Amino acid sequence: MTTPPPTNADSSTTAPGAVRGGGGAWQQANALAAAADWPAAAACYARIAAATPDDAAAWIGLAKARGRNGEYRAMHAATLRAAAAGPRTWPHALALARLLRDLHETRALDALATALAARAHEAATDDMVALADLLGGEDLHRAALEWLDRANARDRAHAPAAYLRGGTRLFLGDMPGARRDLERAIALAPHFAHAHRRLSQLRATDRDGAAARVERLLQERSRVAPGSEHDIHFSHALFDELHDLGEHEAAWQALARGAAARRAGLRYDAADDARLFEAIRARCDGAFVSGPGHHHAAGAPRPLFIVGMFRSGTTLLERMLGGHASIAEGGESMGFAAALRHAVDHRARGVIDLETLRRTGGVDWPALGAAFIAGNAWRAQGRAWWTEKLPTNALLLGLVARALPDARFVHAWRPPMDVCFSNLRMLYGGFAPWSYEQQELAAWHRGHAALMAHWRAVLGERLLDVAHADLVRAPEHELRRVLAHCGLAFAPGVLQPQRAGGAVATASAAQVRDGIRAPRRPDWWPYRAHLGPLAAGLGIQLD
């Protein structure tokens, strides 16, 4: 959950060693980094690190330079050396935390945050909030809440802390606490559009206040620049509130305004994704996915990959499966994508790109599978299975299947108009750029559907399809299918997704706590007059 308010976030290209001052070697390294001469900067930082191996600052500088130079493995190695050395100052601690977050080194980030607790008194409130934000980004929500509690105790007038605390409590299922924090953030900063947007996710818990919230949203939106980031968040919050009030025409105008503004600020070409989908299918044929990989040891936990388009029901399915004593909820980790990046020594912008595919020719697949298990089996928490619920792992299924012959896959799906409109109405962070324009959204769905058809053909019984509609209509029947897919017996606890405990940090964070909800008229139906381009792109005739 990335927070937009200002913190001490390090957006510079120079290494944190720049704050050290003096020393010819440091001055030279920092100057080279400032000039974006990354090979030379890396060489300089490497000499400093070799001379002072217990100084985390040198390793942090080296990690940044290696990363900027496209050396993923070297960046990873230097980051772990920095973590082992331990940062001496809060600026260095935050720089290290960002590196660990970027590398998805979840346990190392958690350990760093735990170690920093003894030095919390040295931190500015902004530092605490920045660290909490990074922890939340790795689904370490309880650790994040501890830091936000500290920030809140330090300064109750800190709006970003209140905002992040509210979002974190939402993810952890504390809806009343989330509402209090978000309302406090808005009281402190009425223009804080991100807080308004987060609060709209809690609208089902306060229907009576909807009209007042709409009036407040309209008032605040009128004060910001059209098309600005604030305007986008206000518009999406307005859509949510107005939709629930049944004011569908006004709701559509708000959504169209917000989506158009978001799309205008993105660099995206649907043709690039079309080429990627095609390349994935070509690379991952039947012969490839059935090649040798890493088999799990007897008694070792196994991953269950739950995939599908965003908003396809993956969160509900994972939440239900987490009620089984043999399955732990692993959440939306980037575990396999991170292991793949290390194996190919390249960082894709998403989970995969054409360059990653090109480099897979040199991958040791059993070693990649073993590395993934070694780095992620802790998510099982002592249980036999853990879920990997990152929806975009759908693009990686062939590579996962090759590396992990014992893994199992479940594909959650909804009808095309249902799932596409559910994406269209969402405001995502730095991903899903295809979701804001109807024709691009339809194109993505077509590509995703074709890829899933390919996976069915090459993976056979390893892939199980689960329709969201069937899951909510006949949950026991569907869950028996999924559990049998994993060789597990049915357990009644899987029918209680509203149970307390656990964290849900997706767009369904509030909804999934309501339990299993019966099917109803599709949310897109009141807007069908506006959805012609989407329907046409999906090959659907709207009556």
Q: Tokens at residue 407, please?
A: 């893994």
The letter for the amino acid at 103 is L
Number of structural domains found in the chain: 4
CATH of the domain at 133: 1.25.40.10
Domain boundary among 74, 103, 132: 103
Whether residue 244 lies inside any domain: the answer is yes
Q: What is the pLDDT of residue 519?
A: 61
Q: Do 310 and 366 belong to one domain?
A: yes
- Distances from the Cα of 294 to the Cα of 120, 159, 302, 352, 442, angstroms: 42, 48, 11, 21, 37
**CB neighbourhood size of 68 (10 A):** 18
**Contact residues for 180 (Cβ-Cβ < 8 A; gap 6+):** 166
Q: What is the pLDDT of residue 502?
A: 55
The letter for the amino acid at 418 is D
Q: What is the pLDDT of residue 497?
A: 81
Q: What three-state secondary structure class fits 105? A: coil
How far apart CA 47 and CA 29 sit, in angstroms, is 10
Q: What is the pLDDT of residue 522?
A: 92
Whether residue 422 lies inside any domain: the answer is yes
Q: Do 386 and 307 belong to one domain?
A: yes
3-state DSSP helix/strand/coil percent for the chain, to nearest 5? 65, 5, 30
Closest to 168 (Cα-Cα) out of 503, 507, 514? 503
How far apart CA 185 and CA 204 sit, in angstroms, is 20
Whether residue 278 lies inside any domain: the answer is no
Q: Do 237 and 253 belong to one domain?
A: yes
pLDDT tens string, the chain, 543 residues long: the values are: 555 543 333 434 344 444 454 478 999 999 999 999 999 999 999 999 999 999 999 999 999 999 999 999 999 999 999 999 999 999 999 999 999 999 999 999 999 999 999 999 999 999 999 999 999 999 999 999 999 999 999 999 999 999 999 999 999 989 999 999 999 999 999 999 999 999 999 988 888 899 999 999 999 999 999 999 999 999 999 999 999 999 999 999 999 999 999 999 999 999 999 999 999 999 999 999 999 999 999 999 999 999 999 999 999 999 999 999 999 999 999 999 999 999 999 999 899 999 999 999 999 999 999 999 999 999 999 999 999 999 999 999 999 999 999 999 999 999 999 999 999 999 997 789 999 999 999 999 999 999 999 999 999 999 999 999 999 999 999 999 999 999 999 999 999 886 545 555 445 545 544 556 666 789 999 999 999 999 999 999 987
Q: Tokens at residue 216, please?
A: 């407040």
Whether residue 122 lies inside any domain: the answer is yes
Q: Do 123 and 82 belong to one domain?
A: no
**Contact residues for 112 (Cβ-Cβ < 8 A; gap 6+):** 83, 87, 93, 96, 97, 100
Q: Do 197 and 145 belong to one domain?
A: no
For residue 401, the number of C-alpha atoms closer than 13 Å in the C-beta half-sphere is 25
Q: Do 173 and 208 belong to one domain?
A: no
Q: What is the pLDDT of residue 11?
A: 38
Q: What is the pTM of this model?
A: 0.91
Would you list the DSSP string of 476-499? Answer: HHHHHHHHHHTT----GGGG-TT-
Residues 293, 448 contacting (CB under 8 angstroms): no
The letter for the amino acid at 332 is E
Q: Do 173 and 125 belong to one domain?
A: yes
Give the chain's length. Answer: 543
Domain boundary among 77, 103, 129: 103
How far apart CA 415 and CA 423 sit, in angstroms, is 12
Beta bridge partners of residue 408, listed in sequence order: 304
Q: Do 69 and 165 belong to one domain?
A: no
Whether residue 293 lies inside any domain: the answer is no
Residue with tokens 């769905």: 445
Residues 171, 509 contacting (CB under 8 angstroms): yes
Whether residue 118 lies inside any domain: the answer is yes
**Contact residues for 358 (Cβ-Cβ < 8 A; gap 6+):** none
Q: Do 503 and 468 belong to one domain?
A: yes
Q: What is the pLDDT of residue 416?
A: 98
Domain boundary among 247, 265, 283: 265
How far apart CA 314 and CA 492 sit, in angstroms, is 19
How far apart CA 206 and CA 216 sit, in angstroms, is 15
Whether residue 69 lies inside any domain: the answer is yes
Q: Do 428 and 309 belong to one domain?
A: yes
Residues 397, 306 contacting (CB under 8 angstroms): no
Whether residue 39 lies inside any domain: the answer is yes
CATH of the domain at 347: 3.40.50.300
The phi-psi region of residue 216 (left if phi > 0; otherwise alpha if psi is between -120 and 50; otherwise beta) is alpha
Q: Do 210 and 348 belong to one domain?
A: no
Residue with tokens 């995939």: 307
Closest to 523 (Cα-Cα) out of 430, 391, 417? 417
Q: What is the pLDDT of residue 405?
A: 97
Q: What is the pLDDT of residue 520?
A: 75
Residues 75, 63 contacting (CB under 8 angstroms): yes
Q: Do 181 and 214 belong to one domain?
A: no
Residue range of the domain that includes 179: 112-187
How far apart CA 353 and CA 333 sit, in angstroms, is 18
